[in-house]
Amino acid sequence: MDQSLNKLDAVDMASKVIKKEISPVELIQSHLDRIDDLNPSLNSIVVLAEDAIDQAKEAEKALYNSGSNIGPMHGVPYTIKDSIDVSGYRTSSGSLLTSKSIATQNAPVVERLKNAGGILLGKTNTPEFTLWWETDNRVFGRTNNPWDITRTPGGSSGGEAAAISALLSPIGIGSDSGGSIRVPASYCGIFGFKPTHGRVPITGHVPYTLTEHTHIGPMARSTKDIALALNIIEGPDYSDHYAVNMPPTNTESLNGSIQGLKVAWYTDEPFQPISESVKSVVMNAVSVFKDMKCNIEKANLDFLHSLDAMGTSSKIASVEGGRDLEPLFEGKEDLLAFSMQRRLSMPKPSQQEYVQALLNRQQIRQGFMHFFKNIDILICPASPVSAPKHNSVELEVDEALTPGRTALMSTLVYDLTGAPAISVPFGKDKNGMPIGIQIVGRHFEETTVLNTAHKLEEFSNLRKNVYGDPNQI
């Protein structure tokens, strides 16, 4: 199979379409062919768009019509996580309870991609209600990691990460309330960006819960594609009251100098344990920033030790998720996936514990506001390990066994704070599985985060073979 079109970045696809060097029909068909070939082994795309070729034909006609509106993604394919509404398609969110729910209108992010000329290829898999760290459910089954199908692509945007990594889609939209964009991106060797909370509206995300922690953001195979998608989907929709009217992110140039940037880093402190391979990849990234004449220091996050970010997140999710979801599945618990049944079996926090968790969250936010007063960028792990085997209830971190949820321990804290954070592919473990590092910045300073990520991308050997080996699929 000729993969040359599929390997292009979305930015380059759009440029070649506008120049009439490739046709939208050719581009969409190339992706549909690869989906047909590889998706049965991956199960990443769970619903195909029925009109993708028809849309491509219309996009091709528009190129020769001088009165047509040609947007920045004209004729370029994309995918959407199956927890985000697309008009006329079901938004199952991986649950038997909502598997027949048909969306009546597009989520703002979908409408904006459509208006930009993008062509929907399909919807991607997610664990039930997006609330687990492995992508598996009772509606569509399990998604496999393209680098090794015996391993998970992570969750909850695992279907999206797998599709982009395997060249089934160049660009897509996921959601993140504990690491659900960044951890799958790390496991699958792609870029995953969680913008500042409020930069992108979450209207049309199902379930509509944990709204202070939930982010919608782009996933792609390059920083410039992340920037392209962000510019399209950002901005208020006057429905999501968290979505604020901020100036657009300046992504026109990702080549600005970062000399003198104040960069802090951590590996295992304050989150432990972290595998030696992940530590090594993070430190390699730190060395790159030293060579680029950044001001480097080890991060001091001692304030987190007494605040229990993992427990804080868990207690808030239990109370607020239960409030919003339990009326839906009351009396229907037998239809829930194992992951949700396990959540229900956990002890409920008391009112006092919930209030304390809210106070802890506020202190965590205040602590990071103070931290970023004198720091521009924070470099840290995106996950303590590379992609584990499927159904790993416990994570094996070198010689230590930890609960599966600790896969999120270095990401969920930035959902609590709402800071912008991106996972950048930058290394591999001894088994050849990709490892991403996380770059975190100040609120609404997406430009700095993306510029820093782009600089790191230029030094990443992983970027050259980010797609893995298709022969192992």
Average pLDDT by stretches of 10, the chain with 473 residues: 85 97 97 98 98 98 88 98 98 96 98 98 97 95 97 98 97 98 98 98 97 97 97 97 95 87 94 94 97 97 94 96 91 91 88 98 98 98 96 89 90 98 96 96 97 93 54 44
Angle among Cα 390, 418, 177 to the nearest 5 degrees reads 25
Within 10 angstroms of residue 212's Cβ, the number of other Cβ atoms is 14
Q: Are 263 and 289 in contact (CB under 8 A)?
A: yes
* Per-residue pLDDT at 2: 61
Q: Which CATH class is domain 10-472?
A: alpha beta
DSSP letter (8 states) at residue 249: P
* Per-residue pLDDT at 167: 96
Share of the chain residues as helix, strand and coil, in percent rounded to the nearest 5: 40, 15, 45
Domain ranges of the chain: 10-472
3-state DSSP assignment of residue 175: strand
Cβ neighbours of residue 465 closer than 8 Å, sequence gap 6 or more = none
Cα separation, 403 vs 405, in Å, equals 5
How many residues are present in the chain?
A: 473
* Per-residue pLDDT at 464: 56
Q: Are 24 and 30 in contact (CB under 8 A)?
A: no
Cα separation, 412 vs 408, in Å, equals 6
Using left for φ > 0, alpha for ψ between -120 and 50, and beta otherwise, residue 117 falls in left
Tokens 């500042």, located at residue: 196
Specify the pTM: 0.96
According to DSSP, the β-strands at 262-265 and 377-381 are parallel
* Per-residue pLDDT at 399: 83
* Per-residue pLDDT at 463: 58
